């Protein structure tokens, strides 16, 4: 089947720093690197590297041809990306010596995706395909509603967290993934914990502690693999993309999570975002 991913595409400027700058603090970076990123683009690349057919729905500015080219190179179908008159989104990412990060995103074209681009793309979707989205774009709710009404499976990563959008998305979802901070924020907004939500499958990611699946038969924990972190940026996106790819291919969710945990562990040992997401061959060779 196909995964139709309405998602953000960012130019990632990654600064290696001794620690994440405190308020009022100025720091020298020891290096600055440039990667393709954006939560949506990272998840599209992860799902494509896991073997799925992924159509990325999104937008870049006139300065964003390179991003489309890289997505294509990584196996993502880019015919559903529009070029708009707003500059391509970018992110400034600080990566500290312990691998942790702090990120500021300028949304640019990600929040100017034309409705026509979304609807024309989904017109080509077939029953059983997955519609997938996150919060770095516009049109998530319109996309989820249209997808549900036309018989697609609907998946959503509630990141970066937006209580209002997430609350409105719940009614359309078959699958929801969020981290533990986002799960707490959702509980504060709706009064519902992961097990109480009206969504068939919910995964809460716990960073180095693994991830918990809340399904019809209760909750099941999948541990992470212990690795020495170099850069945690994009590891959660890699996990999510691999899980969606597993679901798309009809794998049991626990099996998809176990493969995704290996992919995320490899990703934590690599510096960078979409460009360094591991392939399924890397994951199969992983022995950690
Ligand atoms: O989750 C990591 C991503 O967050 C980065 O690629 C950055 O672009 C931001 O969207």
* 129 annotated as ligand-binding: no
For residue 88, report the distance from its CA to the centre of ligand 1, in Å: 14
Q: Work out the number of other CB atoms within 10 angstroms of the CB of residue 161.
A: 17
Instruction: State percent of the chain over pLDDT 70.
Output: 100
Residue 203, both tokens: 């995964």
* 209 band by pLDDT with thresholds 50, 70 and 90: very high
In this prediction, residues 196-206 reach a mean pLDDT of 97
Read off the pTM. 0.97
237 is catalytic: yes
Q: What angle do CA 268, 87, 147 make, to 5 degrees?
A: 70
Please report the pLDDT score of residue 99 as a whole number.
Answer: 84
Compute the distance between CA of residue 185 and CA of residue 174 in angstroms, rounded to an integer: 20
Residue 286 lies in a domain: no
Residue 284 lies in a domain: no
* 100 band by pLDDT with thresholds 50, 70 and 90: confident
Quote the longest CA-to-CA distance of the chain: 52
Residue 98 lies in a domain: yes
Residue listed under structure tokens 């516009």: 138
Please report the pLDDT score of residue 147 as a whole number.
Answer: 98
Give me the chain's average pLDDT, please. 97
The best mutation among 5, 67, 91 to test binding of ligand 1, ranked by most ligand atoms within 8 Å of the C-beta, falls on: 91
| Segments in the chain forming alpha helices (H) | 39-49, 65-73, 115-123, 140-149, 163-169, 180-190, 235-248, 253-268, 280-285
* 282 annotated as ligand-binding: no
39 Cβ inside 6 Å of ligand 1: yes
Residue 120 lies in a domain: yes
* 214 band by pLDDT with thresholds 50, 70 and 90: very high
Compute the distance between CA of residue 59 and CA of residue 40 in angstroms, rounded to an integer: 11
110 Cβ inside 6 Å of ligand 1: no
In this prediction, residues 196-212 reach a mean pLDDT of 96
Range of the domain at 82: 2-21+30-273
The ligand 1 atom at the shortest distance from the C-alpha of residue 41 is: 6
* 288 band by pLDDT with thresholds 50, 70 and 90: confident
Predicted confidence (pLDDT) at residue 79 exceeds the cutoff of 80: yes
159 Cβ inside 6 Å of ligand 1: no
**Domain total of the chain:** 1
Work out whether the CA dihedral 223, 225, 229, 230 comes out positive or negative: negative
Compute the distance between CA of residue 164 and CA of residue 168 in angstroms, rounded to an integer: 6
233 Cβ inside 6 Å of ligand 1: yes
Catalytic-role residue among 77, 201, 237, 248: 237
For residue 149, report the distance from its CA to the centre of ligand 1, in Å: 30
Predicted confidence (pLDDT) at residue 149 exceeds the cutoff of 80: yes
Q: What is the CATH number of the domain that holds 46?
A: 3.40.1190.20
46 Cβ inside 6 Å of ligand 1: no
Please report the pLDDT score of residue 287 as a whole number.
Answer: 87
Q: Write the DSSP string, 69-129.
A: HHHHHTT-B-TTEEE-SSPPEEEEEEE-TTS-EEEEEE-GGGG---HHHHHHHHHT--TT-
**pLDDT tens-digit readout, 216-246:** 999 999 999 999 999 999 999 999 999 999 9
Nearest CA to ligand 1 atom 7: 38
**pLDDT tens-digit readout, 14-24:** 999 999 999 99
Residue 280 lies in a domain: no
């Amino acid at each position: 089947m196909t995964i139709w991913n309405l998602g953000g595409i960012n130019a990632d400027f990654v600064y290696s720093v001794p620690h994440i700058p405190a308020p009022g603090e100025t720091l020298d970076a020891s290096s600055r690197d440039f990667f393709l990123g954006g939560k949506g683009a990272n998840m599209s690349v992860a799902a494509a590297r896991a073997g799925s057919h992924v159509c990325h729905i999104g937008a870049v500015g006139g300065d964003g041809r390179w991003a489309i080219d890289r997505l294509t190179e990584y196996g993502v179908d880019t015919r559903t990306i529009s070029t708009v008159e707003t500059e391509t989104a970018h992110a400034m990412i600080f990566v500290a010596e312990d691998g942790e990060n702090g990120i500021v995103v300028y949304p640019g074209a990600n929040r100017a995706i034309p409705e026509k681009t979304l609807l024309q793309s989904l017109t080509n979707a077939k029953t059983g395909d997955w519609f997938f989205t996150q919060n770095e774009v516009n049109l998530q709710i319109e996309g989820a509603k249209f997808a549900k009404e036309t018989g697609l499976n609907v998946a959503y990563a509630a990141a970066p967290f937006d209580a209002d959008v997430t609350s409105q998305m719940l009614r359309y979802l078959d699958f929801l993934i969020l981290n533990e901070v986002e799960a707490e924020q959702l509980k504060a907004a709706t009064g519902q914990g992961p097990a109480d939500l009206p969504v068939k499958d919910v995964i809460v990611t716990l960073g180095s502690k693994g991830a918990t699946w809340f399904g019809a038969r209760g909750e099941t924990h999948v541990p992470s693999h212990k690795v020495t972190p170099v850069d945690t940026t994009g590891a959660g996106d890699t996990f999510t993309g691999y899980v969606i790819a597993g679901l798309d291919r009809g794998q049991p969710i626990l099996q998809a999570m176990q493969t995704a945990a290996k992919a995320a562990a490899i990703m934590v040992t690599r510096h960078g975002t979409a460009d360094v997401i591991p392939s399924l061959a890397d994951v199969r060779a992983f022995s950690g």
